[in-house]
């Protein structure tokens, strides 16, 4: 039978599982919000960020308020926070996203776990969740701060590296196909030719633009609400707390953070996350474009375009033997759809800042971090299991190129647009080559046609 211990908060006593480090307020939230339990818990990135925030605050308070946060308290608090940061205490963070919109219970979950673990390390009742771990802080400034820290670290450590690797792979593929000419397509119809490397360069440049937009989104995310406390006035925080705690967070993370100039804005607005997620949405759109192009170019193998081949990673059908499907393209397009849906949630959440606080913080954080995680994983899988193995079917590309009626565009300067259109229509209707149709209509002699018709010069 599971054992319990009694914990207290301002509302009274509550029974908490004896083997868990959380306290009364976490337990109340766990009971009051049984929504998505085990599925939609607070993202690990937020818990990691809270460990960093609490450690930075302890170090700052040790400097600014040594009478409150003694050397012993600071040491135990930091040691416990380090265990939160490392993920060692993850099982002690059970709360779901669907809780108080300010994230108060998750802040208190961190306070209680760190206090209780710190007390275990001290071997005595040394730390109080509110008075010590939450010293000079409020849920209203710690949760927005944790969101920004988590967002910056996720972009820097997860998504941008995955994006860089995809760009590098496309650069390799581009160089490999610099001499390959193929039929272009607009409106899903045949168009004038281009090099396959030029087509790939369009994919690559899209991702390079996405990288630039993500980098542009980082500076606003580096501004932190910490130090604004309850409503932005900084009540109960010592002078200079906001500046020093941002410095401490920068030291702890190896990234760059600074205090927000206007804490009233920092507590109630999520526009920085909206802007950054817009860049995520743009990346999702480019990922959708690449995946759709790849699967259509690889369609077949006999009854489709068949201009490229992609790796055969697994059987594609439970009934059709030998069928291979573009499964990596499908995962990428599904991820893109989900990120676009997440963008709607982030935008709606950001629109709900009322008076001195936005109370849609957990859902905004969850959707943002989910998008980063999905895009990072999707880019890695798509690159490793599909893009790396793309091979140009040069024979098929040449065959399609020679059959394209839009090569007739090369004749425009010599016989005029209307006559060139007549050549294309006759060639289509009577299944002729462009040369045969042009000669039949008497627009050019064979020698004249051969002198001006060079598809390779059209790229």
- Pick from 129, 122, 165, 103: nearest CA to 16: 129
Longest dimension (CA), the chain: 102
Q: How many Cα atoms sit within 13 Å of 230 on the Cβ side? A: 2
Q: Do 26 and 112 touch, CB atoms closer than 8 A?
A: yes
Omega cis (within 30) before 186? no
- Pick from 399, 398, 417: nearest CA to 408: 417
Which tokens sit at 76? 């135990």
Q: Do 21 and 112 touch, CB atoms closer than 8 A?
A: yes
CA 402 to chain centre: 42
Q: How many Cα atoms sit within 13 Å of 379 on the Cβ side? A: 27
Q: β-strands 4-9, 12-17: how paired?
A: antiparallel
Question: Over the range 309-339, which residues count as b (16 or more CB within 10 Å of their CB) and which as e?
Answer: bbbeeeeeeeeeeeebbbbbbebbbebbebb
- Give residue for tokens 């959380």: 22
Q: How far is CA 314 from CA 275, 299, 318, 340, 385, in A?
A: 38, 16, 11, 28, 11
Q: How far is CA 192 from CA 130, 184, 357, 392, in A?
A: 69, 5, 56, 19
- Pick from 126, 135, 125: nearest CA to 75: 126
Selected catalytic residue, list 187, 255, 256, 454: 187
- Pick from 192, 177, 235, 179: nearest CA to 387: 177
CB atoms within 10 A of CB 440: 13
Q: Residue 48 catalytic?
A: no
Beta-bridge partners for 184: 191
Residue 22: burial class (beta carbons within 10 Å; 0-12, 13-18, 19+): buried
194: left (phi over 0), alpha (psi -120 to 50) or beta: beta
Q: Residue 187 catalytic?
A: yes
CB atoms within 10 A of CB 72: 13
Selected catalytic residue, list 13, 178, 317, 351: 317
DSSP string, 273-287: HHHHHHHHHHHHHHH
Residues designated catalytic: 187, 317
């Amino acid at each position: 039978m599971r054992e319990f211990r009694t914990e207290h908060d301002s509302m009274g006593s509550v029974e908490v599982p004896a083997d868990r480090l959380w306290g009364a307020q976490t337990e109340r939230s766990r009971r009051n919000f049984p929504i998505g339990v085990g599925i939609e818990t607070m993202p690990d990135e937020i818990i990691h960020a809270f460990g960093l925030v609490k450690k930075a605050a302890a170090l700052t308070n040790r400097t600014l308020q040594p009478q409150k946060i003694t050397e012993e308290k600071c040491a135990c608090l930091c040691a416990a926070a380090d265990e939160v940061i490392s993920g060692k205490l993850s099982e002690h963070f059970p709360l779901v996203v669907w809780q108080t919109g300010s994230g108060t219970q998750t802040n208190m979950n961190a306070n209680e776990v760190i206090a209780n673990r710190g007390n275990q390390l001290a071997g005595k009742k040394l730390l109080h969740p509110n008075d010590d771990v939450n010293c000079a802080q409020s849920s209203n400034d710690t949760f927005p701060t944790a969101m920004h820290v988590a967002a910056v670290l996720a972009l820097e450590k997860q998504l941008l590296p995955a994006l860089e690797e995809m760009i590098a792979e496309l650069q390799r593929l581009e160089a490999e196909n610099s001499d390959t000419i193929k039929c272009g397509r607009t409106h899903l119809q045949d168009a004038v030719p281009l090099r396959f490397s030029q087509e790939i360069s369009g994919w690559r440049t899209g991702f390079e633009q996405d990288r630039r937009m993500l980098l542009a989104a980082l500076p606003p995310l580096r501004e932190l609400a910490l130090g604004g406390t309850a409503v932005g006035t900084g009540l109960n925080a010592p002078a200079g707390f906001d500046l020093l705690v941002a410095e401490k967070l920068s030291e702890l993370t190896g990234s760059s953070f600074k205090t927000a100039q206007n804490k009233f804005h920092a507590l109630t607005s999520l526009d920085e996350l909206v802007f950054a997620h817009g860049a995520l949405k743009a990346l999702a759109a480019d990922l959708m474009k690449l995946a759709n192009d790849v699967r259509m170019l690889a369609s077949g193998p006999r009854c489709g375009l068949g201009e490229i081949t992609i790796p055969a990673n697994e059987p594609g059908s439970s009934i059709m033997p030998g069928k291979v499907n573009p499964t990596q393209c499908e995962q990428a397009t599904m991820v893109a759809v989900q990120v676009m849906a997440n963008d709607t949630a982030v935008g709606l959440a950001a629109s709900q800042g009322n008076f001195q606080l936005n109370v849609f913080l957990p859902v905004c954080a969850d959707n943002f971090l989910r998008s980063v995680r999905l895009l990072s994983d999707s880019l890695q899988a798509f690159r490793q299991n599909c893009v790396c193995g793309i091979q140009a079917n040069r024979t098929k590309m040449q065959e399609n190129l020679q059959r394209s009626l839009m090569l007739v565009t090369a004749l425009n300067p010599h016989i005029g647009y209307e006559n060139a259109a007549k050549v294309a229509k006759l060639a289509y209707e009577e299944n002729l080559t462009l040369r045969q149709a042009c000669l039949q209509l008497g627009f050019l002699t064979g020698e004249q046609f051969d002198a001006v018709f060079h598809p390779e010069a059209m790229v």
